[in-house]
Amino acid sequence: MKRIVLNPFFLTLTMLVLIIASCHNPMGVQPLDETPTRGKIRMSIDESFQLLFDAQLYTFESLYVNAKITPLYKPEVDVLADLMNDSVRTIVLTRDLTKAEKDYFTTQKFVARTTKVAHDALALIVNRANPDTLLLDTQFADIFKGKLTNWKQLNPKSQDFPINVVFDNNKSGNVRYFREKFALTGKFPANCFAVNNNAEVIKYVKDNRSALGIISVNWISDTQDSISEKFLKDVRIVEVGTTTSNYCKPYQGYIADGSYPFCRDVYMISKETFSGLGTGFVSFVAGDQGQRIILKSGLVPATMPLRLIQIRKD
């Protein structure tokens, strides 16, 4: 009977392959079936941009039928936590990583790459029965500081209603933005409170005459989107100015030229160590097709030149 001798090298290699196959694939190792246009991943996205990224993902997956990206729409704090704890490799935020956050990834042998994809704005909305639709940025700061608490303080002709400021979530980027812009510390006044998301802010404002809501303009900027169109019918957009001569709404042109005072950027951040599906999707959003989707949505593309046309009435 012929004796079979197993090669130790091939035996070790076989065992190693079996061990790897039976273990969870770590974030730093490229799955065998993943490329920039193929594979399955999850991605955490600031819920302010749900309408925009629903459109981006629909188009991307229509072009690349073997790609499946599951979006996790969350407030900013939770989105960043997902990246930090290795739940996802790619996220969408309205800020870049801090030096401390970048240093942390360096200690974990990751390099987080940031791509700016859009310019966004925060819109202020009021109930349709509220006639006050003009507000200075300094007045809005005083509302957050508790100095202005009644609509009559803003306009003597207004009815005697308390100002109730409602925002999307205590952990949102919308809240952080105004804390940083107005150098706010400590707790907000009692008339400032959070719900759960941008859609709930719009509903609250629709149902409450005294409300002043804060939302990402993405929820009302795409006039060709049925959801945005419905929300626009439910509320009124406040014109904000730095002086009484330059009030404007958060329209695309005013975001692009910086006239609107509450603008911010949108970033996609990836810590993939290989050219995976997350990398492919970031490239798509920052590329021609993705930027055109951003343009259509009413936001301002970050990498596509925007032509502004001024129309004068004779």
Q: Does the reported pTM lie above 0.95?
A: no
Q: Give the whole-angstrom CA distance, residue 129 versus residue 106.
A: 53
Model confidence pLDDT, tens digit, residues 122-136: 999 999 999 899 999
- List residues bridging with 231 in a β-sheet: none
The tens digit of pLDDT for each residue in 19-43 reads 444 444 445 556 668 999 999 999 9
Which residues are CB-neighbours of 131 under 8 A, at least 6 positions away? 155, 157, 158
CATH 2.40.170.20 fits 121-263, yes or no: no
* Per-residue CA distances from 181 to 234, 263, 264 (Å): 28, 11, 11
Each residue's pLDDT expressed in tens, for the chain with a length of 314 residues: 555 455 555 445 445 444 444 444 445 556 668 999 999 999 999 999 999 999 999 999 999 999 999 999 999 999 999 999 999 999 999 999 999 999 999 998 888 999 999 999 999 999 999 989 999 999 999 999 999 999 999 988 888 899 999 999 999 999 999 999 999 998 899 999 999 999 999 999 999 999 999 999 999 998 888 889 999 999 999 999 999 999 999 999 999 999 999 999 999 999 999 999 999 999 999 999 999 999 999 999 998 765 555 555 44
DSSP-derived secondary structure for 105-154: HHHTT---EEEEEEEEEEEEEEETT----EEEHHHHHHHHTTS--BHHHH
CA distances from 242 to 239, 251, 280 (A): 11, 16, 40
Tokens of 305: 């030149």
Encoded tokens for 149: 């608490």
CATH code of 33-119+264-301, in short, is 3.40.190.10
Same fold, 33-119+264-301 and 121-263: yes
Q: How do the domains of the chain map onto residue ranges?
A: 33-119+264-301, 121-263
How far is 173 from 160, CA to CA, in rounded Å? Answer: 31
